[in-house]
Amino acid sequence: MGSGALFPAGKRMSRMLLTALLLSLVIGLFVDAHPHFGIEAVPGFYAWFPMFASLGLIAVARALAALLGPREDDDGR
């Protein structure tokens, strides 16, 4: 991104994700879901569950990259 961006890339992405989460929560209030499991009856389940699942996957990916990735002192030989 150029230096003239209104928000830095990280903040813009955070705002977009927060907006999507809030929009999902609001829409979820008007949609009649038919829960199959007890936890699906929790308000906003279909909004917050994917968010936390993706954050968990990101944490696992970063941990694996730290464990299995190249060391910083490795020069590639």
pLDDT value of position 60 = 93
**Region 45-61 average pLDDT:** 87
| Rounded-to-integer distance, Cα 50 and Cα 10, Å | 20
Q: For residue 4, what pLDDT band results from cuts at 50, 70 and 90?
A: low
Q: In 3-state terms, what secondary structure has residue 38?
A: helix
Q: Mean pLDDT across the chain, nearest whole number?
A: 80
pTM of the model: 0.58
How confident is the model over 36-48, as a mean pLDDT? 85
**Residues 48, 28: contact at Cβ < 8 Å?**
no
Residue 2 has pLDDT above 70, yes or no: no
> What would the DSSP string read from start to end of 40-65?
GGSTTHHHHHHHHHHHHHHHHHHHHH
**Domain residue spans in the chain?**
9-68
Q: In the predicted model, is pLDDT for residue 37 greater than 70?
A: yes
